[in-house]
């Protein structure tokens, strides 16, 4: 009986005590900041029309006249680019400038892959012929620049322009302009052929 009385008094006292003050250790953390959004393929302007690359020959994208105007005077050379899911690719060298253009037809991913944090690149988004074009600079790679054009769902045109081993290094800004010019010519050609 005495134990029961002590228990009742203890419970009554416990109910009268103030709750413990919250400290920095017991305060819940603030909610995480809302994530910053990067553009995605959903944010891209609508394409004028899809330009599927499945049956395109990468070495036939640029016409002979276009190659001449771009000073790409060596014969095009076809190969498979393993870093883009075995994309069909073509490389063309300029003996005039010493630079090299590469066109790859990527069929395994959309251009928005370059906007992911996993890509770890610097990029700017623009447009060529109404199609979203992403100029890509890879950190610590100053001898090349890429332009990626969103041409169809899950497909993009990759244009790389790089220094072909000139005795004086070509500035990356110049290489990005070269990639842009090649991408513009390639898109004009693709649109004309379709």
Six-digit token pair at 95? 């003996």
| Tens of pLDDT, residues 72-83 | 999 999 999 998
pLDDT for 166 beyond 90 = no
pLDDT of residue 126: 96
pLDDT digits (tens, 9 = 90+) for 25-81: 444 444 444 434 455 555 788 999 999 999 999 999 999 999 999 999 999 999 999
CA distance 61 to 63: 6
Neighbours of 112 (CB within 10 A): 20
Distance of alpha carbon 92 from alpha carbon 87, whole angstroms = 16
Share of the chain above pLDDT 70, in %: 78
So what's the pLDDT on residue 193? Answer: 85
Q: Output 16 or 192, whichever has higher pLDDT.
A: 192
Mean pLDDT of 117-128: 89
Q: Which strands, in side-by-side order, build the sheet including 77-81? A: 77-81, 87-93, 99-106, 155-163, 144-152, 131-137, 122-128
Burial class (CB in 10 A: 0-12, 13-18, 19+), 147: buried
In this prediction, residue 39 carries a pLDDT of 54
User: What tens digit of pLDDT does each residue of 98-119 get?
Assistant: 999 999 999 999 999 988 888 7
**Tokens representing 64?**
């002979």
């Amino acid at each position: 009986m005495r134990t029961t009385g002590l228990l009742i008094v203890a419970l009554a006292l416990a109910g009268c005590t103030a709750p413990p003050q919250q400290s920095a250790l017991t305060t819940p953390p603030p909610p995480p900041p809302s994530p910053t959004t990067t553009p995605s393929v959903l944010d891209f302007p609508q394409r004028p029309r899809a330009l599927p690359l499945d049956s395109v020959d990468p070495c036939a994208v640029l016409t002979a006249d276009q190659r001449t105007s771009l000073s790409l005077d060596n014969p095009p050379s076809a190969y498979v680019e393993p870093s883009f899911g075995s994309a069909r690719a073509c490389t063309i060298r300029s003996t005039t400038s010493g630079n090299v253009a590469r066109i790859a037809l990527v069929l395994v991913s959309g251009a928005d892959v370059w906007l992911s944090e996993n890509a770890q690149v610097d990029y700017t988004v623009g447009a060529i012929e109404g199609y979203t074009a992403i100029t890509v600079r890879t950190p610590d790679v100053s001898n090349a620049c890429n332009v990626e054009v969103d041409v169809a769902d899950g497909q993009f045109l990759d244009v790389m322009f790089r220094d072909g081993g000139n005795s004086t290094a070509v500035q990356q800004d110049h290489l990005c302009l070269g990639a842009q010019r090649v991408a513009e010519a390639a898109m004009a050609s693709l649109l004309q052929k379709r």
